Structure 1
Amino acid sequence: MKIALLQTDVLHPEFIEQYQSFGVMFQQMFAAADIEIQSEIFSVIDGVYPPNPDDFDAMLVTGSKADAFSNEPWVLTLGAYLRQRHDAGQKLLGICFGHQLLAHALGGRTERAAAGWGVGVMAYQWQTKPTWLNDEAATFKLICSHRDQVTQLPPGATLLAANDFCPNAAFYIADKVLAFQGHPEFSTDFGAELIHKRQLDIGDPLAQKALTSYAQGHDGLAIAKVMRDFVGH
């Protein structure tokens, strides 16, 4: 299995030595889950795209501090590219910003959430169990870090997971698109550093609640396997 990692942001300079890049986090996640995947990172924020997209079984859009509904040229270019790849039958995966951009680009709606920041570990409830979803649990937990949300799913999408804070926390479209709001690739260490970096924006009470939530762990590796099963089914 071969996946193109479409990297949509760069790490804060002080994080690069330890965490390298968002694309590398996904490579480390798949390795930690014992998933045999070949992957290549393309920095689409810098205009770098796969020269031969059909060489890949799927494309994965990473998280970003950018707004999926913005008019930044690179965001508009990536949205158009994802529509083209969707029309060509390419399997597409999205995480956080990737989840939001896929929804927005394919006819749904993403906007600033009235509920404000979502941070820390959250539990989500599966809303349906398609044939490729082998998770027997009713719920799963992921680290989240977002203040935008998908408020309307795109045409043809099926709601896959939700909670009270994020009603559209995951969706899929047939056997071509799978997207999650939460971050399976984040470690609790990176999540905590990101909270400290954004503490002024988030506010102390919510930041402290998020930091405390990391003690419960999360199901990132299980969601990595869900993505593998979706691409491979």
Structure 2
Amino acid sequence: MACVLIVKTGDAYPEVVDQYGDFETLFEKQLSTALPAHLEVQVWDAQRNPTPPALDTLAGILITGSHSMVSDAEPWSEALKPWLQGALANDMPMLGVCYGHQLMAAAFGGVSDYHPAGRESGTHTVRLTLAGRQDPLFSQLPESFAAHLSHAQSVMQAPHGCTVLAHNSHDAHQALRYGPRQWSVQFHPEFSVPVMRAYIERQRAILRDQGENPASLSAKVTDASDAASLLTRFLAFV
């Protein structure tokens, strides 16, 4: 049976894990609704297990978010870069999310760092570029769609040769494509409405400090099923 690997790059907040599951569980819940019989999902915790699976044993790779920062260049994170470069060179289907998005961009020659405008949290509108409207993974999405976001760092400089698929007023690189079957997104397609609200609640003080209204952000959290559909649609490319 072919394996789709979830690369776990961190843990969600404890209260989120207790109520809804950790990052990999959120991915698994979404994928289970459309997982073909010939595919199975496995999890590799990259922070705790330094030995990556051999690429030739995998059919596809999904990379989770993390509360770590790519620019901190932690050894476990830096060790992932050549592995990801090998995956890209072998045309391995990949989809990176949040930290995974920033890590893929950094691994392929871009720059990920703190966003000068601060943190983006909540449900926000993301817009497809012309390339995004023509992309095989993104083309079935509406031109503008709601997405759950929680990040302090962003892809500040996209790798040379990659394609920008989506953006919004906060972030010029909400979605990128690096090769025929290699994508990454800044937003969280695995988040549900309750998980997004739990993240805003945990970040209440930080958001207030940067001049935002956490109660208003929480009230505006809405369904983001279009963004969520990317996870199951990705399986068609595996």
Q: Say yes or no: TM over 0.5.
A: yes
Shift of 1:45: 1.1
Say whether 1:169 aligns with 2:170.
no
Greater shift, 4-13 or 41-50, is seen at 41-50
Unpaired segments ≥5 residues, structure 2: none
Please give the alpha-carbon distance, in whole angstroms, between the structure 2 residues aligned to 1:134 and 1:226. Answer: 11
Q: Percent identity?
A: 24
Number of equivalenced pairs: 229
- Whether contact under 8 Å (1:149, 1:166) holds in the other structure is yes
Please give the alpha-carbon distance, in whole angstroms, between the structure 2 residues aligned to 1:170 and 1:81. Answer: 21
Please give the alpha-carbon distance, in whole angstroms, between the structure 2 residues aligned to 1:43 and 1:31. Answer: 20
Partner residue, 2:163: 158
Partner residue, 1:43: 45
Say whether 1:2 aligns with 2:3.
yes
- Whether contact under 8 Å (1:119, 1:207) holds in the other structure is no
Please give the alpha-carbon distance, in whole angstroms, between the structure 1 residues aligned to 2:199 and 2:106. Answer: 25
Deviations 1:73-131 (CA, angstroms, capped at 9, x unpaired): 11111223212322333222100010011001110111100111111111111112124
User: 3-state SS of the aligned residue for 2:47?
Assistant: helix
Shift of 1:24: 1.1
User: 3-state SS of the aligned residue for 2:71?
Assistant: coil
1:201 maps to amino acid: I
Q: How does 1:15-164 map to 2 (within 5 A)?
A: 15-32=16-33, 34-36=34-36, 37-127=39-129, 128=131, 129-135=134-140, 137-164=142-169
- Whether contact under 8 Å (2:138, 2:230) holds in the other structure is no
1:11 maps to amino acid: A
Shift of 1:195: 1.4
Please give the alpha-carbon distance, in whole angstroms, between the structure 2 residues aligned to 1:48 and 1:143. Answer: 30
2:18 maps to amino acid: E
User: 3-state SS of the aligned residue for 2:88?
Assistant: helix
1:17 maps to amino acid: D
Say whether 1:202 aligns with 2:207.
yes
- Whether contact under 8 Å (2:175, 2:186) holds in the other structure is yes
1:85 maps to amino acid: A
- Whether contact under 8 Å (2:63, 2:100) holds in the other structure is yes
**What is the RMSD of the two structures over their aligned residues, measured on CA atoms?**
1.9
Paired residue for 1:223, among 226, 230, 235?
Answer: 230
Instruction: Go from structure 1 to structure 2 and tell me whether the alpha carbon gap of 1:48 and 1:136 turns closer, same or farther (over 3 Å shift).
Output: same
Shift of 1:141: 1.5
User: 3-state SS of the aligned residue for 1:45?
Assistant: coil
Unpaired segments ≥5 residues, structure 1: none
Instruction: Go from structure 1 to structure 2 and tell me whether the alpha carbon gap of 1:228 and 1:134 turns closer, same or farther (over 3 Å shift).
Output: farther
Shift of 1:170: 0.2
1:61 maps to amino acid: I
Please give the alpha-carbon distance, in whole angstroms, between the structure 1 residues aligned to 2:160 and 2:70. Answer: 18
